[in-house]
């Protein structure tokens, strides 16, 4: 039986996962990617049309700050700009798992964004995607990234 909901944490300085296809990505994106992988691990459906809908006020804040610090030193890699895009939070999972359904990041706190995301996911499930991964991401006071991932399927 697939695990329909996954939760997890990740330190902002945690290393890139082994076998990662992307050199630079924000810690939040790796957390979401891990959660998506756990939810999809035993799911028997076709992954290609699955949608990914994320809710995070923080998104790629760690990488944005890292890029800003590198700009001051005049030593920024163009690859960091891609990793700093807030959309990377959901886009990395799409790349890692071959998800080509609709994807969107709502840049707002999950407490405000989840009701909106559930309505949007419901619309996607009427034809745009057979399943939607609904992910949330927050950062606690210690800087630890916390996330959830839930697989929603059409009735």
Model pLDDT for residues 53-76, shown as the tens digit of each residue: 999 988 767 677 777 777 777 777
Q: What is the mean pLDDT of residues 5-31?
A: 74
Distance, CA of 144 to CA of 136 (rounded, Å):
14
Report the distance separating Cα 62 and Cα 99, nearest Å: 25
pLDDT at residue 3 above 60?
no
Tell me what the mean pLDDT of segment 123-136 comes to.
96
pTM of the shown model: 0.85
The residues, ordered by sequence, that sit 6+ positions from 3 with a Cβ below 8 Å of its Cβ are 38, 39, 41, 42
**150 three-class SS:** strand
pLDDT band at 110 (very low <50, low <70, confident <90, very high): very high
On the question of pLDDT at 83 being above 80, the answer is no
Domains in the chain (CATH in brackets) are: 5-153 (3.40.47.10)
Examine the pLDDT at 135 and tell me if it is beyond 90: yes
pLDDT (average), residues 121-144: 93
Element (H, E) at 131: strand 131-139
The whole-number pLDDT of residue 79 equals: 67
- Angle (CA) 146-148-149 rounded to 5° is 150
């Amino acid at each position: 039986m697939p695990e329909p909901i996954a939760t997890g944490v990740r330190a902002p300085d945690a290393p890139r996962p082994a076998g990662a296809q992307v050199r630079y990505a924000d810690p939040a994106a790796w957390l979401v990617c891990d959660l998506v992988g756990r939810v999809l691990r035993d799911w028997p459906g076709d992954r290609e049309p699955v949608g990914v809908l994320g809710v995070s006020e923080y998104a790629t804040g760690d990488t944005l700050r890292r890029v800003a610090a590198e700009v001051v030193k005049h030593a920024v890699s163009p690859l960091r700009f891609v990793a700093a895009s807030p959309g990377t939070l959901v886009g990395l999972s799409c790349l890692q798992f071959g998800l080509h359904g609709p994807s969107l990041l709502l840049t707002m706190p999950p407490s405000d964004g989840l009701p909106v995301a559930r309505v949007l996911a419901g619309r996607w499930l009427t034809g745009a995607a057979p399943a939607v991964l609904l992910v949330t991401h927050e950062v606690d006071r210690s800087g630890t990234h916390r996330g959830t991932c839930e697989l929603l399927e059409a009735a």
